[in-house]
Structure 1
Amino acid sequence: MNRDYSYLIDTLSNWNYQLDEKQIQQLDKYYEMLIEKNKVMNLTAITEFDEVLVKHFADSLSICTIIPNDIKTVCDLGTGAGFPGIPMAIAYPNFQFTLIDSLNKRIKFLQEVVDAIGLHNVTLVHARAEEAGRNKLYREQFDLVVSRAVANIATLSEYCLPLVKVNGYFISFKSGEIEDEISQSGKAINKLGGKLTKPVLFSLPNTDISRSFLIINKEINTPKVYPRKAGTPSKEPLK
């Protein structure tokens, strides 16, 4: 391995987290497989190593700054090319991860990654978010649900909160201005059994990339009518 991971190592150190040599090697193998598969399948527009290090690896692992202490099971909904789920699963080998995506080709690729780098704490599921949220295997089964998916928080909450256990958490990775989105989504989050806490704003070190975490506590069971049928949460976000 001759790629330079010092940015990630130093950044995590500043966040009071550390990866061992095996974990760095797992990330490196993941990077190699991602770039190779990206030649024949659209997984990510970010392919240069330095950019992947910052915008995918460091960004995914920035959650180490806020992750709750009482976590055992994690779901990454709409995982895409595996972010943040795969880096998180590498960094937290004692957690059990379920990565869900609607495109089976992506799930098959991620299974190849999981097998190649020896991740024994990852289960991969091919399903639409609406299907997963109604499936008793996944509904209200996770201590923490995360998503880097690009959608408004009302829509994401309808997808994700049905999967969160009562007293668990949904954490959404966000960028850009979020104040209006937050103000417009409070009632929707409450309908789904959640309560939004104050967002955590930060920048990725040595960059001008501003990020934020929206942290939603699951206080009561999500009503059975949610999530609504496929396509509805995105076309008609709750208000």
Structure 2
Amino acid sequence: MANVSPSYDDVLAAAERLGRPVDAEQAELLAVYLRQLIKWNKKMNLVGKSDWRTVFNTLVVDSLFLADFLKGLPLGDKPLCLDFGAGAGLPGIPLRALWQEGDYWLVELREKRALFMTSVLSKLKLPGTNVFRGRAEDALARLEKGRTEATADLILSRAFMPWPKLLDFIYPMLRKDEERAGVAVILSNDLPPAESELPEGWVLGNVASYPAARGERFFWSLKVR
């Protein structure tokens, strides 16, 4: 069985095998996250019965390639980013080990999972990375102290809800600006729909694929208009 407590060198080697190398500082941050995840998982069942290598190859892999994908999006300076249904901090916490632009909020309703993420972040000290415990529909108003005009630059979703419902749900929350419209990024096992299938008000942006342990996966970006 894989070592339940990955070292810095273990993570460096695992990332190299996936074809997305990380540097020394990133490897250490990822190792700390994985150690905490496996430790808490024994009591909370955050990711099912998994050793750290399985978690890395099937879940953290998304974060590694997502960091590169986000660098190619027009998010502007200091974007406000919301990660809905953050759960065990995936993809958000490993992502922030590699991509640290703007303010990033891990949004999670369940108390124990929010507590886990808060505990991990207290060890990692990732800049601009926070936990919001509450309903997704309440996040912006609470974060901006009740300013109803507040909007996000980026909203991420792995499996928060089916994409057609998600796009309707988040449309009011994203920035409506011709120069810098808000962006949704969906992590999926499937190619994106045709643009004609998208709800009104959305335009398909960048799409990328990447290798994962259980097959090819995709990122879709969609811009509001």
Shared fold, TM over 0.5: yes
Q: Alpha carbons of 1:46 and 1:156: their partners in 2 closer, same or farther (altered >3 Å)?
A: farther
Code of the residue aligned with 2:163 in structure 1: it is I
Alignment partner for residue 198 of structure 2, among 183, 186, 190? 186
Identify the range of structure 1 (38-47 vs 137-146) with the bigger mean alpha-carbon deviation.
Answer: 137-146
CA drift at 1:161: 3.0
Alignment partner for residue 121 of structure 1, among 105, 116, 128? 128
**Superimposed CA distance per residue, residues 199-237 of structure 1 (whole angstroms, 9 cap, x where no aligned partner):** x252416x4512112211022xxxxxxxxxxxxxxxxxx
Q: Which residue of 2 aligns with 1:76?
A: 83
Alignment partner for residue 212 of structure 1, among 212, 218, 221? 218
TM-score (norm 1): 0.75
**Superimposed CA distance per residue, residues 141-172 of structure 1 (whole angstroms, 9 cap, x where no aligned partner):** 32211111253211221333333222120001
The number of equivalent residue pairs is 206
**Superimposed CA distance per residue, residues 26-62 of structure 1 (whole angstroms, 9 cap, x where no aligned partner):** 1111101111111111211262222222222121221
Cα pair 1:79 1:99 within 8 Å, conserved: yes
Unmatched 5+ residue regions in structure 1?
14-18, 220-239
CA drift at 1:76: 0.8
CA drift at 1:70: 3.4
Q: Alpha carbons of 1:95 and 1:62: their partners in 2 closer, same or farther (altered >3 Å)?
A: same
Distance in 2, matches of 1:4 and 1:94, equals 23
CA drift at 1:132: 2.8
TM-score (norm 2): 0.79
The alignment status of 1:171 with 2:185, answered yes or no, reads yes
Q: Alpha carbons of 1:27 and 1:35: their partners in 2 closer, same or farther (altered >3 Å)?
A: same
Distance in 1, matches of 2:153 and 2:191, equals 28
**Superimposed CA distance per residue, residues 166-188 of structure 1 (whole angstroms, 9 cap, x where no aligned partner):** 21200010114654xx678513x
Code of the residue aligned with 1:93 in structure 2: it is Q
Q: Which residue of 2 aligns with 1:234?
A: none
The alignment status of 1:28 with 2:40, answered yes or no, reads no
Q: Alpha carbons of 1:121 and 1:186: their partners in 2 closer, same or farther (altered >3 Å)?
A: same
Q: How does 1:50-89 map to 2 (within 5 A)?
A: 50-67=53-70, 68-71=73-76, 72-73=78-79, 74-89=81-96
CA drift at 1:69: 4.6
Code of the residue aligned with 2:118 in structure 1: it is Q
Distance in 2, matches of 1:184 and 1:103, equals 36
Give the alignment's Cα RMSD to 1 decimal: 2.6
Q: Alpha carbons of 1:202 and 1:108: their partners in 2 closer, same or farther (altered >3 Å)?
A: same
**Superimposed CA distance per residue, residues 89-130 of structure 1 (whole angstroms, 9 cap, x where no aligned partner):** 111234321110111211111010000112232121011123
Q: Stretches of 4+ moved more than 6 A in 1?
A: none
Q: How does 1:123-162 map to 2 (within 5 A)?
A: 123-132=130-139, 137=144, 140-162=150-172
Q: Alpha carbons of 1:134 and 1:158: their partners in 2 closer, same or farther (altered >3 Å)?
A: farther
Distance in 2, matches of 1:31 and 1:183, equals 38
Unmatched 5+ residue regions in structure 2?
1-6
